Amino acid sequence: MVFSGEDFTTRLMNDMDPQLLDLVKTKVNSFIKWDLVRFLRENPNTTDTAENIAKYIGRNNTTVEPDIRELVDSGIMEAKIIEGKTVYSLVPDPEVRELLDRFVVSCDDRHFRVKVIYHIVRGMR
């Protein structure tokens, strides 16, 4: 059987833990979300405004806030109103936290990072 280059590349890039592949394709599907997940994993008890979280990851609030809202919608982060301000934090769900831990630890592997980059860029098309 002969595979085209794209078929081979797709198969190669999909060769990862199915839960992590789903996470990358459906939830952590932008470089900003990747930065947010890394930050939240390193600071799991953070509860702060989108503006401050953007500062912590070295990005502009106007570009970060939509991705934070998408992470809320996808069940990775939660939003609360405190003293009239919306603050965001990582959900307390242990299964979500364990999945994010696996994702961030897997990112230590160069080949895994290449696959994540491939899926993020492909999703931008």
Q: What is the DSSP letter of 3?
A: -
Whether 105 is in a domain gets the answer yes
Are residues 64 and 33 in contact, defined by beta-carbon separation less than 8 angstroms?
Answer: no
Amino acid at 23: L
Give the pair of three-digit tokens for residue 31. 């470089």
Residue 50 sits in a domain of what CATH number?
1.10.10.10
Whether 77 is in a domain gets the answer yes
Whether 15 is in a domain gets the answer no
Whether 18 is in a domain gets the answer no
pTM, 2 dp: 0.87
Whether 1 is in a domain gets the answer no
Are residues 41 and 104 in contact, defined by beta-carbon separation less than 8 angstroms?
Answer: yes
pLDDT confidence of residue 25: 93
pLDDT confidence of residue 125: 67
Domain count, the chain: 1
DSSP H or E segment with residue 48: strand 47-48
Whether 84 is in a domain gets the answer yes
Quote the mean pLDDT of the chain: 91
pLDDT tens sequence for the chain (125 residues): 445 556 766 666 667 888 999 999 999 999 999 999 999 999 999 999 999 999 999 999 999 999 999 999 999 999 999 999 999 999 999 999 999 999 999 999 999 999 999 989 988 76
Q: Residue 90: helix, strand or coil by DSSP?
A: strand
Match 């609360």 to its residue by tokens: 80
Whether 11 is in a domain gets the answer no
Domain span at residue 118?
30-124
